[in-house]
């Protein structure tokens, strides 16, 4: 059974058809890529799957649970983690606090515990901090734990985002252009991190990326999206040689 199974998903923004008849099936531990020109609807698909928008039609199953109509926090709690195209970090909060907040749904002490500092709260918060620090160590930013995120370099802010997404304990991780705006060195590091996360945590990963080289290297299967429709799907080699994909990216060659 696939981990994430999307069938016939269609979405309209008013009269605009943003996504049409979208299908996706990701197995546990698989890395999948989603490419396509700007405005093709890649981020919209992420937003539909994570519950920010509710699809007009279609079915989404994560590990057998239907996600359609759930609140984003319920979807996150079911095991879907995500990072963002534009860094979405919270100013005024430290690196550690970012990661700890993402553990929210994994803790279950209640308000009474919160106010009276019960043993359960102390234990859960302490364990949560250990998990958070472990993730930061894995991403190589443990020594920045107490820093305000604003003081970090762009590459490290991206790592915080990644650590935060991982802290929700996802079964599948959605990465929306994880290397956007990165320098070549940062890009290489980020690729290594993605590989490491995949290897160590055994997650399924669904990746939107503009840099084709990166997608080709990381992903086993790639979908190409144009105007909200998948025009090609296959292995990196198949995608690279697909005339429709070449046309979508480079335009049509006209011969006279």
Partner 1 sequence: MTFFFQNVVNALQYGSFYALIALGYSMVYSILMLFNFAHGDIFMTGAYIGFGVATGLTVLAAAGTIVLPNWLILVLTILIAMFLTSMLGMLVERLGYRPLRDAPRASAAITGMMIGLILEYGNLLLLGPQRRSFPRLIQTVTYDVGGVILTNKKIMIVAVSMVLMYALHLFISRTRWGLAMRAMAFDHVVVPLMGVPINTIARLTFALGSALAAVAGIFFGLAYPVLDPYMGIVFGWKAFVAAILGGRGSVMGATIAGFMLGFIEIFVAMVFPSTLRDLIAYSIILGILVFRPHGLFGEAYSARLRL
Smallest distance from partner 1 to CB 77, Å: 5
Smallest separation (angstroms) from partner 1 to the CB of 192: 25
Q: Measured between alpha carbons, how far is 159 from 148 in angstroms, rounded to an integer?
A: 14
Q: Which is nearer to partner 1, 203 or 214 (CB)?
A: 203
User: Which helix (H) or strand (E) segment is 247 a member of?
Assistant: helix 243-250
- By C-beta, is 56 or 124 nearer to partner 1? 124
**Can you list the alpha helix ranges (DSSP code H) found in 117-235?**
119-138, 154-167, 184-201, 212-218
Dist CA 65 CA 8 (whole Å) = 16
In the complex, least distance from residue 129 CB atom to partner 1, rounded to whole angstroms: 11
Taking the least distance from each CB to partner 1, the nearer of 85 and 242 is 85
Q: Rule CB under 8 A: which residues touch partner 1?
A: 50-52, 71-77, 82, 84, 88, 90-93, 97-98, 100-107, 109, 111, 114-115, 117, 121, 125, 128, 164-165, 167-168
Cα atoms in the 13 Å half-sphere on the side-chain side of 134: 13
Supply the DSSP symbol for 53.
Answer: S
Q: Shortest approach of partner 1 to residue 160 CB, angstroms?
A: 12
Which of 1, 64, 58 shows the shortest CA–CA distance to 28? 1
Complex with partner 1: residue 139 or 239, whichever CB lies closer: 139
Closer residue to partner 1 in complex, CB, 6/232: 6
Shortest Cβ distance from residue 82 to partner 1 (Å)?
6
CA torsion angle for 153, 139, 49, 21 (degrees, to 10)? Answer: 90
């Amino acid at each position: 059974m696939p981990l994430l199974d999307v069938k016939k998903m269609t979405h309209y923004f008013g009269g605009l058809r943003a996504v049409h008849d979208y299908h996706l099936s990701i197995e546990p531990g698989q890395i999948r890529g989603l490419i396509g020109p700007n405005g093709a609807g890649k981020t919209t698909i992420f937003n539909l799957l994570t519950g920010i928008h509710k699809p007009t039609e279609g079915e989404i199953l994560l590990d057998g649970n239907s996600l359609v109509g759930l609140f984003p926090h319920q979807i996150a709690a079911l095991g879907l983690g995500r990072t963002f195209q534009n860094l979405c970090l919270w100013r005024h909060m430290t690196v550690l606090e970012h990661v700890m907040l993402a553990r929210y749904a994994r803790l279950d002490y209640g308000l009474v515990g919160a106010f009276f500092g019960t043993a359960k709260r102390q234990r859960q918060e302490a364990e949560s901090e250990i998990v958070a620090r472990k993730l930061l160590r894995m991403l190589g930013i443990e020594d920045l734990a107490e820093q305000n995120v604003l003081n970090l370099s762009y590459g490290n802010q991206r790592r915080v985002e990644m650590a935060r997404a991982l802290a929700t304990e996802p079964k599948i991780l959605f990465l929306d252009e994880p290397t956007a705006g990165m320098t070549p060195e940062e890009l290489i590091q980020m690729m290594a991190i993605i590989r490491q996360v995949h290897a160590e945590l055994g997650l399924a990963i669904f990746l939107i990326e503009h840099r084709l080289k990166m997608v080709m290297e990381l992903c086993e299967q790639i979908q190409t999206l144009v105007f909200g429709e998948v025009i090609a799907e296959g292995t990196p080699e198949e995608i690279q040689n697909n005339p429709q994909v070449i046309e979508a990216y480079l335009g049509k060659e006209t011969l006279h």
